[in-house]
Amino acid sequence: MENGSKKWGFRGNQSLGTASAITIRGVLNMLMENLNKDDPRPAIPLGHGDPSAFPCFRTTHLAEDAISDSLRSAKFNGYAPTVGVLPARRAIAEYLSTDLPQKLSPDDIYLTIGCTQAIEVILTVLARPNANILLPRPGFPFYEARAAFSHLEVRHFELLPEKGWEVDLEAVEALADENTVAIAVINPGNPCGNVFTYEHLKKIAETARKLGILVIADEVYDHLVFGNNPFVPMGVFGSIAPIITVGSISKRWIVPGWRLGWLVTNDPNGILEKHGIVDCIKGFLNISSDPATFIQGAIPQILSKTKEDFFSKIVNILKEAAEICYDGIKDIPCITCPSKPEGSMFVMVKLNVSLLEDITDDVDFCVKLAKEESVIVLPGVAVGLKNWLRVTFAIEPSSLADGLGRIKAFSERHAKKE
């Protein structure tokens, strides 16, 4: 369209469409559009990471009271400092320090709008010309999306299902070069449901030191573990290599909609400060939005007053649901699970399309499953593994059992005839 003799000088940024096409939300929205509106049964969401809608996963009333108290205090109605209000940063430093050999300072803590903004911050900070970053496959595709938007080259290393989804450290060393800036590690694992051992995490830190890169430790599912391996924060190894930890209250407190996360520098040797990373983090936050101030104001009360029995209840529900999921998958011939989930809210399972009629791949499986059974499962291609599926078990146990039953019925209906 012309404006007199001139054409309009604006147009959309095409890189936004490219980046957003690979997000989990984008894939799940596509699957939701394929639900059969005439199916009287409720849709069962086995593809999401937000169990807050289910009554058994409701957050503690102490957290809700903290929000109310913060609002009514009238102390948190204004703008917050770009790094976050000091009481919240101090409380987070104390909360995280209980698992670390060194005590964190409030100056090590930067508040963000959920964990996703923390990822956005550090990837933008690292995105200098020709830089590349090492990301896990399978992984959380927001990393790839943000890297693409920041023109940060992605190099994938494999997680090994036959070894409990451990990092292929030999491949990491082969992938890295003089332009590699960081390696991202998600523990407890999304999408695999694995929990790394102390020994394996130490090897990752030693590899990062050898390569001269920092570690981005994504610990948004911290402490949501229910297997043999305890949760070990990567910051334990901050004296070996500089660690940037990203996390939030979203998963442990089951409040992803509150959008309160953090970025933490675990770096007792001061390497990040010397190389300008700390100044760049502050610079990014100076030109970005902040978490709601009243949510920040509630953090000290949320972290200090939440009782252990709430955490235990959530972990026990997840453990029971993981057992139901693992056992239910055994009854579905076209799906195999390499290892029982030990943490987070997910498990990766392998889809054998050769056993199925008229199913071409994991996306086709998930689209037809949504249409025929009103069950949403995330195709593995969305997290980097074609012909795998990511199954969420963080829902009501009865709904989980129903959903697995529908997947079994769907698979039997589409099974190749002898």
- 8 vs 182, residue with greater confidence: 182
- The reported pLDDT for the residue numbered 3 is 56
Q: Which of 369, 398, 345 is nearest to 190 (CA)?
A: 345
Question: DSSP letter at 160?
Answer: E
Q: Which of 258, 377, 281 is nearest to 329 (CA)?
A: 377
Placement of tokens 């009103």 in the chain:
374
Rounded Cα gap, residues 177 and 175, in angstroms: 7
- The reported pLDDT for the residue numbered 137 is 98
Residue 305 has pLDDT above 80, yes or no: yes
- The reported pLDDT for the residue numbered 16 is 77
Q: Which of 49, 121, 59, 52 is nearest to 84 (CA)?
A: 121
Mean pLDDT of 145-151: 93
Confidence band, pLDDT 50/70/90 cuts, at residue 23: confident
- The reported pLDDT for the residue numbered 1 is 47
Mean pLDDT of 67-89: 98
Confidence band, pLDDT 50/70/90 cuts, at residue 29: very high
Least confident of 24-28, 154-158, 233-237, 376-380: 24-28
- The reported pLDDT for the residue numbered 13 is 83
Bond preceding residue 161 cis, omega within 30 of 0 = no
Confidence band, pLDDT 50/70/90 cuts, at residue 37: very high
Residue 61 has pLDDT above 70, yes or no: yes
The values of phi and psi at residue 177, to 5°, are: -145, -165
Residue 116 has pLDDT above 90, yes or no: yes
**Prediction pTM value:** 0.96
| 110 contacts 263 by C-beta, under 8 angstroms | yes
Using alpha carbons, list the distances in angstroms from residue 164 to 236, 264, 304, 341, 358.
Answer: 21, 27, 34, 9, 32
Confidence band, pLDDT 50/70/90 cuts, at residue 19: low
- 5 vs 39, residue with greater confidence: 39
Q: Which of 81, 179, 61 is nearest to 130 (CA)?
A: 179
Rounded Cα gap, residues 114 and 142, in angstroms: 13
Using alpha carbons, list the distances in angstroms from residue 321 to 327, 362, 407, 410.
Answer: 10, 23, 16, 21
| 159 contacts 167 by C-beta, under 8 angstroms | yes
Helix (H, G, I), strand (E, B) or coil at 322: helix
Residue 122 has pLDDT above 90, yes or no: yes
Digit-coded pLDDT (tens) for 180-231: 999 999 999 999 999 999 999 999 999 999 999 999 999 999 999 999 999 9
